[in-house]
Chain A
Amino acid sequence: MKFEGTSTYIATRELSVAVNASIHLEKPLIVKGEPGTGKTMLAHEIAESLGKRIITWHIKSTTQAQQGLYEYDAVSRLRDSQLGSDRVEDIANYIKKGKLWEAFDTEEQVVLLIDEIDKADIEFPNDLLLELDKMEFYCYELQRTIKAKTRPIVIITSNNEKELPDAFLRRCLFHYIRFPDPKVMKQIVDVHFPKIEQDLVDSAMKVFYGIREVKRLKKKPSTSELIDWMKLLLMEKIEANELDSVDLMNAFPPHLSSLLKNEQDYDLLYSKLRGY
């Protein structure tokens, strides 16, 4: 079982090694990197290339670790008891399984994506230490330990909004997705647009890397922005020579809004135009 990238996802050798190490050592893999470099995509592609089901757990600022395990719906049980329902006898009827339980409970191995773990409260990773290490947890209501039948492949993404605790990092492998260099980027564009003209790719990449070079940009455009932008260029059938006149001083590329997502970055580029 080896991950080597897929027909729609270019994985560098570095990344494949990290993913394979994570699969074989059965440790979660933390993936960091600039936004838009395909962190979340990675988990989906691993699942696809290995032919496994994926379970995603999106983390929000209000998410608590317990929600990933299970939730006990005491209120409906109480209500059922008032109505004299038979369901009430079995407490298991009121336990709602969380994503982790779901991942532990399957016969065949699944890929579990814990997306944007840094969005949660600062204590969140600590609450999952044992669960991710031993792949088991204790359900008080049922008074039994839930243990993973097969250890899932766990991919955790983080945008660095909060630092993760050391104890948590100890239990994981780490990979930082570097921004792709032009060579890799070309491969990426090629898998997304197999029929595209090479001239257009070359010109577009020149403009794209030019924008990334602009100092003090708040949010540099990344791979996903480039792909979106190329889509627009293709839709409008813009030719390569139209892009060649773009120098970011006097002329701007079409559909700039899909590359820059920040008002201040716009201002920055336009103030350069006015010659400040």
Chain B
Amino acid sequence: MFLNFFYLMRENGLPVSLQEYLALMESLDKEVVEYNIDDFYYLCKTIFVKSEAHLDRFDIIFGHYFQGLEKINFDFFSKHIPEEWLKENFYKNLTDEEKAEIEAMGGIEKLMERFKELLEEQKKRHEGGNKWIGTGGTSPFGANGYNPEGFRIGQSGSRNRSAIKVWDKREFANLDDKVELDTRNMKLALKRLRRFAREGIEDELNLKDTIRKTSENAGMLEISMQPEKKNKVKVLLLMDVGGSMDDHVEVCQRIFSASKYEFKHLEYFYFHNCLYETVWKDNTRRYDRLQTFELLRKYNKDYKVIFIGDAAMSPYELMSKSGSVEHYNDEAGVVWLQRVLDHFENVVWINPNEETSWNYYQTTHMIRDLFGHKMFPMTIEGITNCMKCLKNSKLIHTS
């Protein structure tokens, strides 16, 4: 009973297992709910869905299965593009003008609906034209388009970066399927950096010392206490929010939220493309800046510094003064990076770009050399090694 439904969920990427299926059978057996479709839907939902992120996908699958549709042609959607992602994240990335334009064309809901319709109608790859989703047309959907609302699909070059969001299929496979991006895994990797120290109130029994003192005391009990062990590691996170980092926003958010809960002493700042004389804390209030010199004075060398950035920029942004794309800088970016390296003992760089692509960017090379090969890829393995490196500065990343 409902075996097909079960397999349908699995095929569409809902992590359901035999245990849940048996639980459903058991509850039907025990007549937990009344026999109507609403209750059955609620029951299935509470049994099969384990995270609010999957709720929407479940709804789609449930809807399709119980409408008796034979062929499911939404697998592209349910597998690769979670609905809430479509709406929320997508909307976040728009500027005010773009939003206004979308409103003018009937609102985001309409755009989304139209896209779904077309996706279902369309059977084969398409190029040109002004209606179908494909590449090189003037339809709002597809790569290389000229519509301000343009969606971008399966595009390798960057002919028009003004499209709202790049959604190459591969990217979503990344977000959706690869467990290595899970924050839980990240937290476990970050955990390696823990450094325990005993400070503060003595509230824990020191067994060894108690035994020693008691023996010295001719067998009369004498208790010795000690403060509890706490994680004392201090971390300073410096993150690139430059344009080329847009594709990595999601994964950066994950590592950021993971570190926030892993480290009590965590400070973070943003920079654009390369570190210059100021950094900031809130991307919506960039004018609220902190001098980088101030940063170096404020945080002592105990702090472990982690840069997160793709290190991909024009060479002049790194090497020459007044090279910044945003403002006039008196000193080259490389000077500032060197200052950070000189001040702190443990500095590493985490690069979200795939390691194989590092060679294509001259500046990635240069920064990597500058950091003494302490540049790590943003995978669980990379982060794990990075944490080891922060503890033992002799370790470097070789590829």
Contacts and interface: CB of A to CB of B under 8 A. Distances in A.
Interface of A: 13-14, 17-18, 20-22, 24-25, 27, 29-30, 32, 75, 78-79, 82, 122, 161-163, 165-166, 169-176, 216
Contacts, number: 75
Contacts of A170: 17, 19-20, 50
Interface in B48-65: 49-52, 55
Contact of A21 (B33, B187, B261): B33
B112 interface: no
A122 B188 contact: yes
Interface in B275-295: 284
A18 B223 CA distance: 51
Contact of B46 (A17, A75, A78, A162): A17
B15 interface: yes
Nearest to A12: B42
B205 interface: yes
B221 interface: yes
A162 B261 CA distance: 8
B: interface residue count bin: 20 to 34
A17 B43 contact: yes
Contact of B220 (A29, A82, A174): A82
A176 B19 contact: no
Interface in B282-334: 284
A175 B42 CA distance: 9
B232 to A, nearest CB: 15
Interface stretch (B23-31, B120-128, B160-168, B383-391): B23-31
Contacts of B205: 75
Contact of A27 (B23, B45, B52): B23
20 contacts: A13-B39, A17-B39, A17-B43, A18-B46, A20-B33, A21-B32, A21-B47, A24-B27, A24-B32, A25-B32, A27-B23, A32-B52, A75-B205, A162-B184, A162-B261, A166-B50, A169-B51, A170-B19, A170-B20, A173-B23
Contacts of B20: 170
Contact of A78 (B43, B187, B221): B221
A43 to B, nearest CB: 16
B191 interface: yes
Contacts of B187: 122, 162
A17 to B, nearest CB: 4
A13 B45 CA distance: 13
Interface string B212-229: 000000001101000000
A47 B42 CA distance: 22
B367 to A, nearest CB: 32
Contacts of B33: 17, 20-21
B6 to A, nearest CB: 15
Given A122-B184, A162-B187, A166-B15, A24 B46 contact: no
B19 to A, nearest CB: 5
Contacts of A14: 42, 45
